[in-house]
Amino acid sequence: MSEVKTDRNSSASTAFEHRRELTPVPSSFRDPSGGVVFDGRDYLRLVRPAYQPHYDRLMASGLHRELVQENLIVAHGELPAQATPDVYKLLRPEQVPFISYPYEWCFSQWRDAALATLRIQELALERGLTLKDASAFNLQFVEGRPKLIDTLSFETLGEPRPWAAYGQFCRHFLAPLALMSYRDVRLGRLLQTHLDGVPLDLASKLLPWRSRWCLWLRVHLHWHAASERRFEHSTRAEAAKKSYSANALRGLVASLQKAVQDLPEPAEGRVWSNYYDETVTGGDYVAHKQRLVGQWLQEMKPRSLWDLGANTGLFSRLAAAQGVNTIAFDSDAACVERNYQAARQDGTHNLLPLLMDLTNPTPALGWENTERMAFVGRGQPEAVLALALVHHLALGNNLPLDRIARFFAGLSSNLIIEFVPKNDSNAQKLLRVREDIFPDYTQQEFERAFSACFTIVQTEAMSNSNRVLYQMARRAAS
């Protein structure tokens, strides 16, 4: 995407009444139809003149309004603008609070995003339009639901032809979902390596033979992969010669919906999803911690919070219930799945559970390592929860306490953190199969390390345990 000039002495650069400097967003340079820019406060979308007929059709057909009403696309407003040779429209979309990526979603999130994409295509066909791409990266979870964020993904249908985005949908949605369902939920991370979607031949090889007994997987994945090999040298013009009726396109969408809906949920493979039910210390410990965390959050009044090591989201939902926009991170897919399903069932719209290993967080990816952002740098929450986490980082992953403290200080100015001593039963589980090489892992050393970055505001020992909860405030930079 060409850079938007904002030099006010240039006639081309004064096209928009919107006067802030517009900086192109690195993830949005491939589409000649337009792109995303940042004006220092909001993310805006440019519509190029080449896309004008499709944009006008999208808006005049009523499709965009219908998608907004069904919560399937972010709403937008048009900013006052003067037409130029480079830009047709400048849009201000609904702002997404936090950017997530598909390889950070649980199975149900991925499935909901797939079904949202197919529902969008279904409605588009009814209005004489079609999705020209079906990238999973074009959806974000806003208020608990997957929404399309790329307003420029539509084109006028014209003469019915094969769905141009069919292959991309299968690579971005059907293949990873099938692998997660039939093999292992961790295979969703393949999209982190294959940013243009999991290759269908690879998915076909990895899936068990029994997946072929599902008609829709046999057609849309196994046979699709075989046809790609057969016709890999055919041209786009040759493919476009195939005749497709509107009914055939609707039938394709319906069969893909059936393929996605029929996938069985993955089996849970780890024990952490039962943490609060089975593995934590008994008595009044959990209730005491809930009361204290709730009280401290009411005193802090953060507008945004990251719950790191959130498990199934017990404390994430406590924060969300107070109106705090909450992101809940955990490395256990089963925990994220339970958290998401609970939030969806309860109608909790300000909680987003995501899959994240803090010891190996999502890196920056894509062209020039800028198209997909690293975990750190995608937000600055006003508060962080780190409950029953430090012993996993220090004892389970050999991370020094001072490095852990610096990491948290780089994330937020407010921290609620729990110290789990070495004699705790769950800490002992981490040491059961390894030598204790952590003489400095003590409460005294914990307080010393964190006091270098934070002021300890409040401390309280937890009932029925040796654990201690801390409220901390980041020290001002000297």
pLDDT digits (tens, 9 = 90+) for 370-413: 999 999 989 999 999 999 999 999 999 999 999 999 999 999 99
**CA-CA distances (angstroms) from residue 301 to 138, 325, 417, 425, 455?**
32, 11, 17, 33, 18
Task: Report pLDDT for 440.
Answer: 93
Instruction: Say yes or no to pLDDT of 230 above 80.
Output: no
Average pLDDT over residues 115-125: 98
The mean pLDDT value for 133-158 works out to 96
The stretch 207-233 carries a mean pLDDT of 89
DSSP 359: T
Distance CA 275, CA 254 (A): 39
Average pLDDT across the chain, whole number: 90
Encoded tokens for 436: 């204790």
283-288 mean pLDDT: 88
* Cα–Cα distance measured from residue 47 to residue 353, given in angstroms and rounded to the nearest whole number: 32
What mean pLDDT comes out for the span 128-132? 96
Per-residue pLDDT at 323 exceeds 60? yes
pLDDT value, residue 28: 85
The residue with tokens 């032809």 is 161
Is the Cβ–Cβ distance between 5 and 12 less than 8 Å? yes
- Tokens, residue 312: 């199934």
C-alpha closest to that of 184 among 266, 265, 112, 114: 266
Per-residue confidence at 434, pLDDT binned at 50, 70, 90? confident
CA 73, 77, 83 angle in degrees (round to 5)?
120
Looking up tokens 């139809």 gives 33
- The torsion defined by the Cα of 338, 344, 348 and 354, in degrees rounded to 10, comes to 50
Q: What percent of the chain has pLDDT over 90?
A: 78
